[in-house]
Homo-oligomer: A and B are copies of this chain.
Amino acid sequence: MINEETKRDVLPRLKKIEGQIRGIQRMVEKEKYCIDIINQLTAAQRALDQVSLKVMQRHIESCVTDAIKSDGGGPIIGELMETIYKFIR
């Protein structure tokens, strides 16, 4: 489960990404150079990757670890693999 440490790590990152998305909207409105817009979109994507990986690590360290310790790893590992599959697209 999400804990205080993950919140402190992840929430400022999401706040910053929200600002990046607003910045990209302004770039589109002002008709900035397409390549610069795409590069900013790519930067936001890489920042989102980091958030996903932080939440995934926390999930493995908490829910997956607890399930494995009580011998019920199977379904939660299946769910994790499906999530990674969607995440990598």
Contact = CB atoms under 8 A, between A and B. Distances in A.
Interface string A5-28: 011001100110110011011001
B14 A38 contact: no
Is the interface on chain A under 10, 10 to 19, 20 to 34, or 35 or more residues?
35 or more
B35 A83 contact: yes
- State the number of copies, please: 4
Contacts of A2: 28, 31-32, 34, 37
Interface string A55-89: 11111111111001100010001011101111111
A61 B77 CA distance: 8
Nearest to A30: B2
Contacts of A17: 21
24 contacts: A2-B28, A2-B32, A2-B34, A6-B28, A7-B28, A7-B31, A10-B28, A14-B21, A14-B28, A28-B55, A34-B58, A34-B59, A35-B80, A41-B48, A41-B52, A42-B52, A42-B83, A46-B89, A48-B48, A60-B80, A61-B77, A64-B68, A69-B69, A84-B84
